[in-house]
Amino acid sequence: MLEFFSSSTRMVNTRRGVTECLEAVAEQGAQTPDLVILHASLGHDFAELMDQARTMAPQARVLAASCCGIVGREGVSESMKDIALMAVRGREFAVAHVDGIYGHNSFEKCRELATNLREQNPAVNMVYFLASGIDIANDRCIAGLEAVFGPQVTVFGATSADNMRGVVSYQGVDGKVFQHAACAVGFADPGLECDTQATHGFVATGEPLVVTRSEGHKIHEFNGRPAWAEYTRRLGLTEQVTCGDTIPVGALAEELSPDLAREYGNHHILRVVTGHEGGTMYYATTCPEGTKLWLTTRDEARIFSEMERMTRTMVERAQGRRPVAVFHADCLARGRFLFNRVLKDELVSRMQFPFTRDGVCPPWLGMYGFGEFARLGGANTFHNYTTALYAIYRKAS
């Protein structure tokens, strides 16, 4: 039976930060964890991060992902020196990774990863997935995982991030550090189930950009013009800006069906641009020619109201059960205000409160990354600019 424990810290010294987190979970009962999952900001050395974790927990598998801030049961932090971890006791899981994942091979790499997980443990019933946040086709990642496990296996997780620059992100497995890898934990405890949901709170505006030439996840042209030039022009920016300049203000919206819109609380699902080269934009999913994409604006009140609707719905589905753990992926561009004017404490507090019991928050591991995986319409789905929550429960007896 799997048991979950979490901790987080804001610590300049990497080894001291990992030590503090592992000492905290040891006090909770995880003296000898079998799995350690780390999220850390770019102010930390990831090889050192994992080395310290493996030194303190030599029997554990260790995974890591870079991010733009963390959320733990202790709260939220968005500095360059954040560390959060989830420690797991029990052996009902499998760990696998693949390196060299890009947009053109996302399906094949994730099918390989899923095959490895299944060979280790055929009982895997949910997959925690972490991948590079730059230049991959995330819908094809889902398709690759489902080619092995089927659509009934819940895929949840995030894509790793940097400090909102869109330049590099890191993934780590058992001491090795990668920049274009995907890694996953296949949980295989038959008594556990995972409930997922995501929400954003942005509103589509104006006339859409129409994709007139594309290749997989690469958009070459909007409205017959080079994609990056047309996109930045519509944003009122120059072509010389970086992806990091566009992320806070440049969310692109794809229209949803009426049924999905009712469930989502929004008429559109959002996408982020994580790279550009020679006028071509790197989209987060495949984007066929003819796709219409709207620019968006943030609706601060809606961000809060839809997040509260989401947590209320999840708590109702739980029927009185308390999560044994909550994993959490949040977009690095979200928050009450832009440009670091206000930390996200209020949003996170309202997010965590419905899952607390007697004032105690369950083990919680959250990161601010480039993208989120959560179900929509009963299907595994990739999202951007959302809060996505993954509550793990013991099945009702």
Neighbours of 173 (CB within 10 A): 22
Distance CA 4, CA 53 (A): 16
| Average pLDDT rounded to a whole number, residues 210-229 | 97
Q: Averaged over 358-382, what is the pLDDT?
A: 96
Percentage of the chain exceeding pLDDT 70: 97
Chain centroid to Cα 173, Å, comes to 17
The predicted structure's pLDDT at residue 340? 45
DSSP 41-69: ETTS-HHHHHHHHHHH-TTSEEEEEEES-
Which amino acid would we find at residue 262? R
Whether 252 shows a pLDDT value over 90: the answer reads yes
Would you say residue 338 has pLDDT above 50?
Answer: no
How far, in Å, CA of 319 to CA of 354, rounded? Answer: 13
How does residue 373 score in pLDDT terms, banded at 50, 70 and 90?
very high
Calpha distance 135→54 (Å, rounded): 30
- 92-96, 159-163, 335-339, range with the lowest pLDDT: 335-339
Contacts of 165 (CB under 8 A, 6+ apart): 242, 243, 244
What's the confidence (pLDDT) of residue 396?
81
Whose structure tokens read 């090795």? Answer: 176
φ, ψ for residue 339, nearest 5 deg: 60, 40
Looking at residues 295-312, what average pLDDT do you find?
Answer: 91
Q: Is the pLDDT of residue 344 over 80?
A: no
Rounded Cα distance between 68 and 72, Å, is 14
- With the C-alpha atoms ordered 328, 331, 335, 339, is the resulting torsion angle positive or negative? positive
Averaged confidence pLDDT in the chain: 93
Region of residue 120 (phi > 0: left; psi between -120 and 50: alpha; otherwise: beta):
alpha
The DSSP output letter for 278 is T
Split at pLDDT 50, 70, 90, the class of 339 is: very low
Distance, in Å, from the CA atom of 317 to the CA atom of 319, rounded to the nearest integer, reads 5
Q: Please state which of the ranges 43-47, 161-165, 353-357 shows the lowest mean pLDDT.
A: 161-165
Looking at residue 374, what is its pLDDT? 98
Tens digits of per-residue pLDDT, 92-127?
A: 999 999 999 999 999 999 999 999 999 999 999 999
Sign for the pseudo-dihedral over CA of 258, 260, 266, 267? negative
Q: How many CA atoms lie within 13 A of 124 on its CB side?
A: 31
Residue 80 or residue 125, greater confidence: 125
Residue 6 phi/psi, 5-degree rounding, is -140, 160
* Residue indicated by tokens 């943030």: 298
Two tokens at 27? Answer: 């006090």
**Average pLDDT rounded to a whole number, residues 197-204:** 95
In this prediction, residue 147 carries a pLDDT of 98
Higher pLDDT, 139 or 302: 139
Cross-strand partners of 76: 71
